[in-house]
Homo-oligomer: A and B are copies of this chain.
């Protein structure tokens, strides 16, 4: 019997519920921002669960965390699976944490099936995938692991309160005395990330397993509009340099620019901060974010390159600065790994379909250093980055079953 059938649906579900207590919100969602005590405690909880099986824990200099089931040849690069424990500011119970818990469940299922592997298999937690609510870059840990960002460049990055990544990591390290240190970017044999779909396709088509073919690309911009504070009752319109008025005009013009009748473009202004933000003061400053995604890099280039000009055209009497903060090209998954996922699903009698990922994932960066693939499972109505995020115990367990089969196979190849 393969390890997929040893996956324990009730255990996996209970662990999601236990993890959801770390940062539970009144509406039943989760707020567990990267590198906070809550996020650190999620890693500690994983270490304790793993330790019951004799799995050892490791941490690297960017806080990526690994629970390892040893192989017969410890010198070989391990097979890895995992995702992240941090959430959006008003996040749900499954985004990220599912990939981590499915990986641990796979390790335990392989253990329960009595299967020895040549290569070690590790459940990985990548640091700060969600960006800590706009405080730091997203996919921070996996990008540093893969060498796309350097440690030296990210450690001094400060959040809104001046807390640097480096200072936060010291707290994280101190929270995890049970973990052994490990250097950055060790060789990896293969990486498979399980995740809720965060879109409606699997549910709509009645499929349980999504075999991810690609992740769309993303460009991020930060727009800073500077005018001048003034008194709302006395300052004439002609003399105002109202940063809010200019920013609102830019926002509406950008909506028009990015409008796509086929609805493939994903354009979002998610963060918009007004200063001083008082009812009786003409705003002197607005800062807002742009998140733009598309599967086609040529479209990313063409539409994204229009942002700065549109902001300049609508700045009125204010000054505007547009800074591009991220451009991640689309990532394709092909070859052996997607095929293994597909055949494991078939073997377990689970329906599957190829699917595009709208969201970014740590797998983007792992794909730069080793063969990589992703497994999606359905989430209710496609709702994600939302406290109402939901998934069924059956679907979650199904993804973990496929994962356990694939990981065991890769670790013995």
Residues of A within 8 A of B (CB): 88-90, 130-131, 133-134, 138, 197-200, 216, 218, 220, 228-239, 242, 244-245, 248-249, 251-252, 255, 260, 263, 265-284, 289, 291, 293, 357-360, 382-387
Nearest B-chain residue to A387, judged by Cβ = B229
B-chain residues with CB within 8 Å of residue A281 when the two chains form the complex: 88-90, 268, 270, 385-386
Can you list 16 pairs linking A and B with CB atoms under 8 Å apart? Answer: A88-B280, A89-B276, A133-B276, A133-B277, A199-B231, A229-B387, A231-B358, A232-B291, A233-B266, A233-B360, A237-B265, A248-B252, A252-B252, A272-B272, A272-B277, A278-B385
How many copies, total?
2
Indicate whether A230 sits within 8 Å of B271 (C-beta atoms), given known contacts A88-B278, A89-B276, A276-B88.
no
B-chain residues with CB within 8 Å of residue A237 when the two chains form the complex: 260, 263, 265-267
B-chain residues with CB within 8 Å of residue A248 when the two chains form the complex: 248, 251-252, 255, 269
B234→A359 contact, CB < 8 A = yes
B-chain residues with CB within 8 Å of residue A235 when the two chains form the complex: 199, 266, 358, 382
B232→A266 contact, CB < 8 A = yes
Which of A220, A236, A238, A359 lies at the interface centre, i.e. has the most chain B CB atoms within 10 A of its CB? A236
B-chain residues with CB within 8 Å of residue A249 when the two chains form the complex: 252
A89→B131 contact, CB < 8 A = no
A270→B279 contact, CB < 8 A = yes
